[in-house]
């Protein structure tokens, strides 16, 4: 079964949210909604959407503030939604990491086209990336699904590879076991949450120089895991 891409819609106007949600769902997207900045950040951390549609004017944090915070955690595509925008606003938004603007009132079909095109573009960008960590100690060719440790190919299971890529993509985020299980098993799982620990243990044995003192897959005791490598992308 194909997993639908998640889109987070953030706007304090309920009617706008309802319209965007209806059109996105009609086009096959899984839509999550938030009506203020704090709620958006909370939902983002739980749901890990593939794209964010973010209103510039929110009742608590501004859209620009939310965008800055998201950019510290993720490279997720962000479309800013606004009633009016100046050239300065556009430049500032792009400088802090927004991928584009849509002006209200907007055509829902145009919005869908922008979302689809942006997701297609970012997917293609991701596939072409080669990511290196700690002076080429670890090299990941995302297009080939190939991982090398000190220039030697290491064989990861599909679940180990998915865990690694998830931790890398959201390197500033701390994942609970439940969140990793939801991502790796795509919610089709009825076992114990400690199963993820076994996958982490096996992954560490393959990519860490010393699995007892890991520098890539870090444990935050009582909470979960996060990534600790310093990267460079080419």
Task: Give the model's pLDDT for residue 187.
Answer: 47
pLDDT higher at 134 or 17 = 17
* Mean of per-residue pLDDT scores for the chain: 83
Question: Please, what is the Cα angle at 90 between 85 and 91, to 5 degrees?
Answer: 145
Spatial distance between the Cα atoms of 100 and 80, rounded to a whole number of angstroms: 6
pTM of the model: 0.58
Class of domain 130-233: mainly alpha
Phi and psi based region of residue 190 (left: phi greater than 0; alpha: psi -120 to 50; beta: remaining):
alpha
Share of the chain above pLDDT 90, in %: 35
The pLDDT of residue 168: 83
pLDDT digits (tens, 9 = 90+) for 74-130: 778 899 888 766 666 666 666 677 888 888 888 999 899 989 888 877 665 544 467
Please, which residues have CB within 8 angstroms of residue 191's CB and are 6 or more apart in sequence? Answer: none
Per-residue model confidence (pLDDT) at position 147: 93
pLDDT tens-digit map of 137-188: 999 887 788 999 999 999 999 889 989 988 887 776 778 887 788 777 754 4
* Range(s) within the chain of domains with CATH label 3.40.50.2300: 6-126
Instruction: Specify the domain boundaries for CATH 1.10.10.10 within the chain.
Output: 130-233
Nearest alpha carbon to residue 108 among 25, 225, 47: 25
Please check whether the domain covering 6-126 is classified as CATH 3.30.420.40. Answer: no
Average pLDDT over residues 26-48: 93
CA distance 25 to 23: 6
pLDDT at 10 over 60: yes
């Amino acid at each position: 079964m194909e997993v639908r891409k998640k889109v987070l819609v953030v706007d304090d106007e309920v009617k706008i949210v309802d319209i965007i949600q209806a059109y996105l769902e009609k086009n096959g997207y899984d839509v999550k909604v938030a009506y203020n900045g704090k709620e958006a950040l909370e939902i983002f951390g739980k749901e890990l959407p593939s794209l964010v549609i973010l209103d510039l004017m929110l009742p608590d944090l501004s859209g620009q503030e939310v965008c800055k915070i998201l950019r510290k955690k993720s490279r997720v595509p962000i479309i800013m939604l606004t009633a009016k925008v100046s050239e300065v606003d556009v430049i500032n938004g792009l400088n802090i990491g927004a991928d584009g603007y849509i002006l209200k009132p907007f055509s829902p079909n145009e919005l869908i086209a922008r979302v689809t095109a942006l997701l297609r573009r970012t997917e293609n960008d991701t596939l072409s990336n080669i990511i290196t960590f700690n002076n080429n100690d670890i090299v990941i060719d995302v297009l080939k699904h190939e991982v090398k440790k000190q220039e030697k190919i290491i064989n990861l299971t599909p679940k180990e590879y998915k865990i690694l890529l998830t931790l890398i993509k959201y390197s500033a985020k701390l994942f609970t076991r439940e969140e990793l299980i939801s991502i790796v098993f795509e919610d089709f799982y009825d076992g114990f949450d400690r199963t993820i620990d076994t996958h982490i243990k096996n992954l560490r044995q393959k990519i860490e120089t010393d699995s007892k003192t890991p520098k890539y897959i870090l444990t935050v005791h009582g909470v979960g895991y996060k990534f600790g490598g310093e990267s460079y992308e080419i």
